[in-house]
Structure 1
């Protein structure tokens, strides 16, 4: 699977974790040069608190278009050190 933004592959993995239709890419498969952490957070009752990132490739920006659970609850421990994408980031094979 690949995560693509502004025609650039920003993450690629053969083994993403799929939860609720979202592909979570292992941290080492994500090019962190394109991400910057924001102050936005959300809480999922069974996964825990999500931290968000703005995705920027060249001059194209998508605010809070990536998220991760840095310390997920036990029910979602498989997504620790993983990042998921949305908001104009295409995820496909």
Structure 2
């Protein structure tokens, strides 16, 4: 799987290393290209997954807010529902193209 924005790869991982939760593809932290994402001030709490952390993307001189999110410490019950630990995995907003290959 690959996440791209404006022709830049933000994350890339084999399909079997990603996790799909509620229709969103979550990439392992090691698959995210360092230097393109930075933590934003936005935080939300999902009733069943827990507290999230959002990220902004910087591509060239363009900064786009809240293009990705992660659950640094998801609730144990959420990990049980998903069937895998997705701590720190990163999913992308609709403005980011996520595709195979």
**Which of the five TM-score ranges fits, normalised by the shorter chain?**
over 0.9
Q: Give the corresponding residue for 1:92.
A: 99
State the SS of the aligned residue for 2:38.
Answer: strand
Deviates more, 1:30-39 or 1:70-79: 70-79
Query: TM-score of the superposition, structure 1-length normalised?
Result: 0.92
Where structure 2 has 5 or more consecutive residues not aligned to the other structure, the ranges are 80-84
Provide structure 1 residue ranges, at least 5 long, that are not aligned to the other structure: none
More strand by share: 1
**TM-score, length-scaled by structure 2:** 0.86
**SS of the counterpart of 1:71?**
coil
After TM superposition, list the pairs within 5 Å mapping 1:2-41 onto structure 2.
2-14=2-14, 15-41=17-43
Q: Rg larger in 1 or in 2?
A: 2
